[in-house]
Amino acid sequence: MKLFYREEGSDGPALVILHGLFGSSDNWLPQAKMFAEDFHVYLVDLRNHGQSPHSDEFNYDVMADDVAELIDAEGISSPILLGHSMGGKTAMTLALRNPQLPSALVVIDIAPRRYPDQHDRIVEGLLALRLADLKSRQDADEALSPYVPEPPVRQFLLKNLKREPAGGFAWKMNLDTISSNISEVSKAVGDSSVYSGPTLFVRGARSSYVTDDDLKDIRKHFPGARLETLDTGHWVQAEKPRELVDLVRAFIKNELK
């Protein structure tokens, strides 16, 4: 599948950034502009998200294959893979299946283990929105609030709306396929495979996604992994953008010198 992507910067090592569930390349534009001082940044829309094509298939294997196809098609040499949450699992899957491809791996607030299904209420709320009848994004926000009480999360989710010329709204993302395959997002990655290249895991201190107990599983698949913690929740890149960029920059400079 030919994925949509944006570029920032021109010189320096290639850095491929993969967003999380219900996200898009737009979410990482501020951080990409910071990274662009040192890297040639590729901001990718994963399948069924943003401006990339839709498909009935939605799992980590096909998403990793899509990114590998993009890297090959664009002649990107030895990229650094960086992914948050679902994008982190996609980056892990790609590195484990093609360990010679990336020069380094950065995973933001996700471990390779299976997670409990935790997006059902969000999906229920998104599917309940009567898009054709909505007059404004405020209408959508109010309708979604009983399902998603946190305003910042609603704001993030509703970035996926687009206005229709005839009135009302539609989803940019492929909500039907995502919702019917939502359990795929929670699945473990890795099996018995190993990526021995430079690897950085960054977790949020106020997030429950990566615990001390996950370290054993992380290092089973990524024996050289280093774990750093920032004072954030799950949305590390949004809460501490400069701190994250500086941490990744220092890691890459040290590992790829």
32: domain CATH number is: 3.40.50.1820
27 plus 101 within the same structural domain: yes
Q: Please tell me whether residues 149 and 52 are part of one structural domain.
A: no
Cα(204)–Cα(233) distance, rounded to whole angstroms? 5
The total number of structural domains that make up the chain: 2
pLDDT of residue 83: 98
Annotated catalytic residue: which of 176, 183, 196, 231? 176
| Mean pLDDT of the region 231-247 | 97
Q: Give the active site residue among 24, 25, 52, 85.
A: 85
Q: What is the model's pLDDT at position 33?
A: 96
Per-residue model confidence as pLDDT tens digits over 41-71: 999 999 999 999 999 999 999 999 999 999 9
- 21 and 65 share one domain: yes
207 is catalytic: no
80 and 158 share a domain?
A: no
Could you tell me the residue range of the domain that residue 38 belongs to?
5-114+187-255
Q: Are strands 161-163 and 169-171 parallel, antiparallel or unpaired?
A: antiparallel
132 and 43 within one domain? no
Q: Is 176 a catalytic residue?
A: yes
191 is catalytic: no
* Pair 96, 10 in one domain: yes
User: Do 27 and 100 fall into the same domain?
Assistant: yes
Judge whether 102 and 76 are in contact, CB under 8 Å: no
**pLDDT value, residue 8:** 96
Pair 127, 233 in one domain:
no
Last residue of a domain, one of 132, 167, 182: 182
Q: Give the model's pLDDT for residue 107.
A: 98
Separation between Cα atoms, residue 248 and residue 91, nearest integer Å = 15
pLDDT bracket for residue 85 (50, 70, 90): very high
Contact indicator for 235, 226 with CB cutoff of 8 Å: no
Q: Which of 155, 182, 209 is where one domain is finished?
A: 182
Token match 């094509």: residue?
53
